[in-house]
Amino acid sequence: MKSRALLLLSLHILSRTTGEPINKKFPENFIFGTATAAYQVEGGWQDDGKGENIWDYFTHTYPDRIANGENGDVACDSYHKYLEDVDLLKNLGANFYRFSFSWARILPTGKADQVNQAGVDYYKNLISALKSNGIEPFVTLYHWDLPKPLEDIGGWLNETLVEYFADYARLSFTLFGDDVKNWMTFNEADQFCQVGYGYGAFPPGIRQDGIDDYLCGHTVLKAHAKAYHIYDEEFRATQNGRVSMVVDTEWYEPASDSDQDKEAADRKLQFTFGWFANAIYHPDGNYPQVMIDRIADRSQKEGFSKSRLPEFTPEEVDYIKGTFDFFSLNTYSTNLAEWSDDYAIGNPGWDADTSVTTYQDGSWNSSASSWLKVVPWGMRKLLNWINENYDHPEIVITENGFSDHGELDDQGRINYYTEYLSAILQAILEDGVNVTGYTAWGLLDNFQWLNGYTEKFGIYQVNFDDPDRPRTPKASTEFLKKVIATKCLVDVCED
Q: For residue range 106-153, what is the model confidence (pLDDT) as tens digits? A: 999 999 999 999 999 999 999 999 999 999 999 999 999 999 999 999
pLDDT computed for residue 343 by the predictor: 87
pLDDT computed for residue 347 by the predictor: 87
Evaluate the omega torsion of the peptide bond into residue 442 and state whether it is cis, within 30 degrees of 0. yes
Q: What is the 3-state secondary structure (H, E, C) of 326-388?
A: CEEEECCCEEEEEECCCCCCCCCCHHHHHCEEEECCCCCEECCCCCCEECHHHHHHHHHHHHH
Query: Alpha-carbon distance 145 to 107, whole Å?
Result: 12
Reduced to 3 states, what is the DSSP secondary structure of residue 492?
coil
pLDDT computed for residue 454 by the predictor: 97
Question: Which residues neighbour 160 within 8 Å (Cβ) at sequence distance 6 or greater?
Answer: 153, 154
Q: Where are the domains of the chain?
A: 4-486
Reduced to 3 states, what is the DSSP secondary structure of residue 416?
helix
- Kind of pairing between the strands at 356-359 and 365-366: unpaired
Ranges of the chain whose pLDDT falls below 50: 1-18
Query: Alpha-carbon distance 187 to 189, whole Å?
Result: 6
Of 269, 214, 221, nearest in space to 245 by CA:
221
pLDDT computed for residue 346 by the predictor: 86
pLDDT computed for residue 84 by the predictor: 98
Please answer whether residues 113 and 107 qualify as being in contact, where contact means their C-beta atoms are separated by less than 8 angstroms: no
pLDDT digits (tens, 9 = 90+) for 205-239: 999 999 999 999 999 999 999 999 999 999 999 99
pLDDT computed for residue 2 by the predictor: 34
List, in sequence order, every beta strand (DSSP E) within 22-150.
Answer: 31-35, 96-100, 136-142
Instruction: Kindly report whether the global pTM for this prediction surpasses the value 0.85.
Output: yes
pLDDT computed for residue 494 by the predictor: 86
pLDDT computed for residue 287 by the predictor: 98
Domain 4-486 sits in CATH 3.30.1330.10 = no
pLDDT computed for residue 20 by the predictor: 83
Catalytic residue numbers read: 399
φ, ψ of residue 460 in degrees (nearest 5): -115, 130
